[in-house]
Chains A and B, each alone.
Chain A
């Protein structure tokens, strides 16, 4: 399956399965970088990562390195990280603050909005050299509730429209700011030798949770272990259109401003006491504690980001069989330090290269890629829960039981739409 004809891409995605070549065909990967990552809204940053004027972070849109900057008027720019002279990268720091980017090779300097500011020894150029022609390439950029996306396309629908019903879930997710706003607290970065869509699928895969994360579950106190029984609480998966989906695992934790008078879980008792001792009123203590516990759902946004329970999960395709993942911890922007510390300890517990969850996920994804080398005409099955279980009213449009592979089917239908052009 190394030379699938372009016009055959649609045939590789059926309603309930996708062809294995989607994981291992380098030509398909090349086409994806073009047709998907250069044609849709791609997540590049959370607003809190570039909170200050003249702050920046480096990121990627597909395989193209970009700098995400905030100028002195607060406006965000997403600039290709490539000098307009002879291509040197302008910035290699992961994040920082600067009012100017100077190319290290011949010293061309750029403003944070990408405009070319100065060229050394300018007398070597003809008189008609026009600096305006050599700005850093600036991508169209829009944000929704702090989630910053960029696209190479000027003519696709606005971000808000692209997100559609996913916006409601982003708003719910951001309630983890407990009224202070959401702030990125740090991140884990790791790679696994496997295709990016394996990770995309995983964020909407409740089925694996009790199996792969058995050792995480057994490291929890009983109350929390019961809470994390994600298959047993009447959750569901809903196709939100455009490849996006939401998987609700803990329905009680959809809206963190509801049920504020429920008893405070044992594991948050010390935090609640500390917040009360700091002088927070009971209502506020409850609101913060509930926010610290995180949301009860994973929102998968096609193609590269998820709002996953208590963190952002960002994927970056490196090659057909290599993917980089960031797990960005989030907390309250300006909220009580004790709450954010607890968030970080909870994040470390599951996430990252030595978390109790991530290494097992990464191993599972690697095993998928390794196994997918076998069999030339086999399919990846996505037929779990094609119909809502008997006796359960589907709670929303195209919804299925929480372990249904509905979210994966939604993503692959979007893949098909974008690839079969």
Chain B
């Protein structure tokens, strides 16, 4: 996944590597924020140049050059959260309830202060008597900044990303 190194790498050599346990704790805390639709603290988890990407194509070299389901920089993430929290978006007021698990973690690359992690995510969503299951491969690029970790890139590739989906009023 060379694409994951495209964004600026704020890591520097004097930063401690990010361990798997530390990374998992971060990812699970993020997952729980999203299940609670607690989006303001979620926004604060990102680096300034971080990209949140929900692709359509499964093997694009450069997501910016193709059409995606979402391709968000910081400004778009903020606008998205504002919309979801506004109460005026029919599809997210009320939103579907979701419960997700993230597992099957594999470290892709690790360098001082930065880690690329692949994982599997299963989300069950419920709205209007209907329960759906969505599966995705997720790639995270985490970076250390001072005491905390930040998300520098998150690519959520739904198992059916290039097939028919439905309106989604929450975040992956």
A and B part of one assembly: yes
Question: Contact at A192–B67, with CB atoms within 8 Å?
Answer: no
Contact of B90 among A187, A212, A329 (CB under 8 A): A212
Contact of A214 among B79, B88, B167, B169 (CB under 8 A): B88
In the complex, what distance in Å separates the CA atom of A352 from the CA atom of B164? 10
In the complex, what distance in Å separates the CA atom of A249 from the CA atom of B155? 36
Contact of B169 among A186, A349, A359 (CB under 8 A): A359
Question: Contact at A186–B86, with CB atoms within 8 Å?
Answer: no
A17: CB under 8 A from chain B? no
Task: Across the interface, name the chain A residue whose C-beta is closest to B92.
Answer: A359
In the complex, what distance in Å separates the CA atom of A215 from the CA atom of B167? 15
B135: CB under 8 A from chain A? no
Question: Contact at B91–A348, with CB atoms within 8 Å?
Answer: no
Question: Contact at A192–B83, with CB atoms within 8 Å?
Answer: no
In the complex, what distance in Å separates the CA atom of A172 from the CA atom of B83? 33
B157-172 Cβ-contact flags toward A at 8 Å (1 or 0): 0000011111111000
Known: A185-B67, A186-B67. A215 touches B89 (CB 8 A): yes
- Shortest distance from the beta carbon of B85 to any chain A beta carbon, whole Å: 10
Interface residues on A, range: 35 or more
B66: CB under 8 A from chain A? yes
Most chain A beta-carbon neighbours within 10 Å: one of B57, B76, B166: B166
B52-71 Cβ-contact flags toward A at 8 Å (1 or 0): 00101100000011111111
Question: Contact at B71–A348, with CB atoms within 8 Å?
Answer: yes
Contacts of B166 in A (CB 8 A): 190-192, 353, 362
Question: Contact at A354–B65, with CB atoms within 8 Å?
Answer: no
A358: CB under 8 A from chain B? yes
- Shortest distance from the beta carbon of A269 to any chain B beta carbon, whole Å: 15
Question: Contact at A354–B69, with CB atoms within 8 Å?
Answer: yes
Question: Contact at B71–A219, with CB atoms within 8 Å?
Answer: no
Contacts of A219 in B (CB 8 A): 79, 82-83
Contacts of B67 in A (CB 8 A): 185-188, 329, 344, 347-348
A347-380 Cβ-contact flags toward B at 8 Å (1 or 0): 1110011101011111110110010000000000
Question: Contact at A218–B86, with CB atoms within 8 Å?
Answer: yes
B80: CB under 8 A from chain A? yes
In the complex, what distance in Å separates the CA atom of A192 from the CA atom of B167? 8
Contacts of B128 in A (CB 8 A): 366, 370
Contacts of A353 in B (CB 8 A): 69, 165-168
Contacts of A215 in B (CB 8 A): 82-83, 86, 88-89
- Shortest distance from the beta carbon of A36 to any chain B beta carbon, whole Å: 22
Contacts of B64 in A (CB 8 A): 341
A142: CB under 8 A from chain B? no
Contacts of B57 in A (CB 8 A): 186
- Shortest distance from the beta carbon of B91 to any chain A beta carbon, whole Å: 4
Binding site for B on A (CB under 8 A): 94, 185-192, 212, 214-216, 218-219, 324, 329, 337, 341, 344-345, 347-349, 352-354, 356, 358-364, 366-367, 370
The 8 closest A-B pairs by CB, nearest first: A186-B67, A359-B167, A362-B167, A359-B91, A353-B165, A215-B83, A363-B91, A219-B79
